Amino acid sequence: MRLFTKNKENPSLKMENRKIIYTVITILFATGFYFYDHYYVEKKSSSNTQNNSTFNFLPTSTTKQIIHHQFYSLSYNEKYEQAEWVAYTLKKDHLKNNQFKRPFFELDPKVTTKSAHYKNYKNSGYNKGHLCPAGDRKFSEEAFNETFLTSNISPQLYDFNGGIWNRLEQKVRYWAQKYDKLYVVTGGVLNDNLKTIGSEKVAVPNYFYKIILDNTKPKIKAIAFLIPHEETEKGLYYFVTSIDEIEKLTGIDFFYDLPDEIENNIEASDNYTLWSLHK
């Protein structure tokens, strides 16, 4: 007599159970990847940008195409094939003298309309002028290399790039050393009827500007420079202007997130002495 009989499992039921298990596993994996992509990665990206860029004080964009890189932000203007502004934070501890190998310029993969190719500059008579200087990003090789995206350059004459513009970049580094932390916004004044270079018609600005903000309390201050795109031996103080004046020329609103009283005060100022004497 058989005291125990093992029941045979229904094959169709067994197959159905497997399908249910596989479906549950698939849903769990999908849910996990969703939260990874939308929470962890986004949070990490937000942390990087908050730590390394100027997102508290970004200007407005006339093109609505603002690009956030890890170590600077920019507003790209497809019509002129360059950034209308590049903004970044320059801290005292950023001022390093690491000697990294100079990379090749590359297209900016984040520009949806595609940034201009570096070949536009070949035999043009113009340098690939950095807007966020490579010299301000020597604290890491990653930060240094990031300045060699073509969205971060504008055509500049050799004697301008290596002359007055270089002197201004050095002065900004001096102020970063003195005041610990600055916010810097740089660009060319872009308007119609500018000379162009290359097959993509990259515009050559007639003027370049640089705006520097020291948001350290109690003495918050800012200074702006507007420099003709030409060789000059004049002192930097000769080119100091107000932020209000640059806003009129560009249609860009700078530092609009500051309280109105502070914004109105610093944007109307063209006081170079304040930066020379104040600590």
**pLDDT above 70 for 17:** no
Q: Which ranges in the chain belong to alpha helices (H)?
A: 11-35, 41-52, 141-146, 158-161, 164-179, 243-250, 260-268, 272-277
Residue 137 vs residue 20, higher pLDDT:
137
Cβ within 8 Å of residue 42, ≥6 positions away: none
| pLDDT at residue 2 in the model | 46
Residue 237 vs residue 54, higher pLDDT:
237
Secondary element (H or E) of residue 241:
strand 240-241
Q: Please name which of 43, 131, 129 lies closest in space to residue 84, comparing C-alpha atoms.
A: 131
| pLDDT at residue 32 in the model | 52
**pLDDT above 60 for 182:** yes
Q: Please name which of 87, 17, 18, 102 lies closest in space to residue 57, comparing C-alpha atoms.
A: 87
**pLDDT above 70 for 33:** no
State the SS3 of 167-218.
HHHHHHHHHHHHHCEEEEEEEECCCCCCEEECCCCEEECCEEEEEEEECCCC
- When pLDDT is cut at 50, 70 and 90, the band that residue 26 belongs to is low
Which pTM was predicted? 0.80
